[in-house]
Amino acid sequence: MSPLRKKLIAGNWKMNKTSADGVALVQEIVAAAGKQTEVDVVVCPPFTALESVGRVLEGSGVRLGAQNVHPEASGAYTGEISVGMLRALFASYVILGHSERRSYFQESDSFINQKVIASLKGQLKPILCVGETLGQREAGETLRVVQTQLEAGLEGVGKDQIASVVIAYEPVWAIGTGKVATTEQAQQVHAFIRSLLTKSYGENAAEKVRILYGGSMKPANAPELLAQRDIDGGLIGGASLESRSFLELVAAASAVR
């Protein structure tokens, strides 16, 4: 466990929860974990629930995140949302490069990189997702794929900015499937990511970057994953949709601090 990195548990609600459902969920999260300071907690509702959820979070330690952003500040981009719009709702994080966006919406590494740069410029902390498919893992390409996504996603990010970036290693085959990477598989990739960050930014900066694991993380498997040296928290899909499991994950992160 590094004293330089506070654990972070982030919930990715994906396309779930109306504004009212989201409010009900965060009311429970804030009531139970709104004052704790041992773990950073972030919820990422769909755009339509950001404002209402943000109001419930006011005055608590739970932070608001979005699930996507457009790199341009404004203009003719029908259906898109800018960094400034998210900041106006007091969002402080944004998930970028999620595998669902890469595969269903054909997002390229260079487009994701533009979003990373725009987010940092606008004081929004990117949670940059990287990870291999099952086919790529079976072909022995995991590290190459992760390296390409990481380096392309971070192009142009300065040494003074890297501590504001969160990386999420999400093996695509483990997302929403109930198949979780073994602790050894996850730790190996996390350590590899940190070694790449060390090469690019130096050890001091790399030691400050949080690297989350994502892919069927649940209260039952979290303690072992979170105890690994380079696993600094979780990006949680399914288990973030219910306060009980999400709070158990926050408690698990707090226990290994």
Catalytic residue positions, numbered: 98, 170
CA 228 vs CA 42, 55, 178, 232: distances in Å: 21, 35, 20, 8
Per rule CB under 6 A, is residue 65 in the interface with ligand PEP?
no
Binding residue count for ligand PEP, defined by CB under 6 A: 13
Stretch that binds ligand PEP, among 51-59, 186-194, 197-205, 210-218 (CB under 6 A): 210-218
Task: Name the residue with the smallest CB distance to ligand PEP.
Answer: 237
Stretch that binds ligand PEP, among 19-27, 203-211, 213-221, 245-253 (CB under 6 A): 213-221
Candidates 119, 187, 216, 243: give the one binding ligand PEP (CB under 6 A): 216
| Angstrom distance (rounded) from CA 233 to CA 51 | 25
Per rule CB under 6 A, is residue 232 in the interface with ligand PEP?
no
Per rule CB under 6 A, is residue 237 in the interface with ligand PEP?
yes
Candidates 128, 175, 226, 251: give the one binding ligand PEP (CB under 6 A): 175
| Angstrom distance (rounded) from CA 124 to CA 238 | 24
Q: How far is the CB of 23 from ligand PEP (least distance, A)?
A: 22
Per rule CB under 6 A, is residue 236 in the interface with ligand PEP?
yes
Candidates 54, 65, 131, 238: give the one binding ligand PEP (CB under 6 A): 238
Per rule CB under 6 A, is residue 12 in the interface with ligand PEP?
yes
Q: Phi-psi category of 97—alpha, beta or left, where left has phi over 0 and alpha has psi -120 to 50?
A: left
Per rule CB under 6 A, is residue 214 in the interface with ligand PEP?
yes
Candidates 172, 197, 235, 247: give the one binding ligand PEP (CB under 6 A): 235
Per rule CB under 6 A, is residue 11 in the interface with ligand PEP?
no
Residues that bind ligand PEP in the complex, under the rule CB under 6 A: 12, 170, 175-176, 214-217, 235-239
